[in-house]
Structure 1
């Protein structure tokens, strides 16, 4: 009897282990644990702190309701950081995607060194967000940096990039455009999926290069453009390292991007509850922008199934 029970128990254990869902849950357990511990719980805690006056180093936080959110509309730095972040996003994302598409289009031409070229162009995306590269970029645009040296050699005056509130944001934008590698790789993969027969048929009909690009390449590539647009927009809203290392938000908050402002409120001014409220406000803004992109995509994204 005991032997039969043991055999039955082993059989149930065997079926339990080899059940598809169980095996999947076991393999997914490390990710689920990491997501719950390091993402979900901190997210819920930040939502809770956004309704408090919590500060780092304090043991108790008092609930103050929506005061943190109401304070946002009275904060001049908050309003300026919103405008500067929108300026950064609206300029850097289209330039970055345009340049990435141009390079991807060139690199899809048959050459022997195309793999090397792709690797070299992708490299800035791997190291572009690092502190070391930000410091190098800061030196390039310094008063005695490379760009001013080139300007002097051409007979042009020096430009005080980081001292002029109207110009300080543009080196950060150029650095973002320089990190076009990830979008370029995705564009290159999408270009390879476009059937060559479409170009051959258009060429037989007498279409020139521009007509083939705007009538075939862009419509067929529009789902990839939509993906890159959303991902790069979200990434641009979260830009922090460049502004923190290169300008520190100056001069006169001219480069105070939103993520940097959140960091300052949390760790510089020790207003963690207020910083959490700012973070959730930005989540709402980013969600609204993403929703607008999705809603308008039906007018310009080509869907072969619907066609």
Structure 2
């Protein structure tokens, strides 16, 4: 209890010194964090953070203050998350991208943007970059939900592991098509985001892959630490082996994505960090965002 209380005090102290407020867009209030824009020069990139599934902007508290020491920073809670209003619309990649664009416009935060996305936020920043490619100067993906993955890619991992085809088909069906569809209105934000990710996986992320990729530097952070407790692991296959094979397959596709940009990229594999890399190794995230930021200022 003492640890939780201390963490609470740290969080309160952090945000009390930050420029935290509500902004109204299309009749809805969005909780935002804005810092470092007072002396922003012309064409200096703003660093825009997009949260993972169902988590609020406090998830970035280990990196926001430090990044704002060298560049302007913006973070926010998507609709129905944290302190933002519930909006009973499905958070499709187009809706989230257009909504974020309108929030930035309302706050007069002009491009160019370095987009930083964690987990599902990686899908959203890839989409935002596709809708507004001329406004993007860099992309930073932190252990993203893999928007380059197809159902065949997923099945190929199990084939490598020697899982029978019948079992593979059964597991794919359970993953994508045997989902609870009853609307959770009390927790609509997190619930709807999970539904959207599931829908994108069904179509092999067709809505995302059709969008153009801006010609900008691309960084990927990959967490190499397997974190699933033994009691929660699958009884159908070796989940730790699956984790490492999947990571390797993801990285091969992400390297191709970086090469396609023409502006270079970096892939950072951190063996002591799990999915929440910005919590486990915030220094690596901060320092590499700084490298990208400084390179784009030149």
| Coarse TM-score class (shorter-chain normalised) | under 0.3
Normalised TM-score (structure 1): 0.22
Q: Which has the higher helix share?
A: 1
The structure richer in strand per residue is 2
Provide the TM-score with structure 2 as the length reference: 0.23
Higher relative contact order (CA 8 A, sep 6+): 1
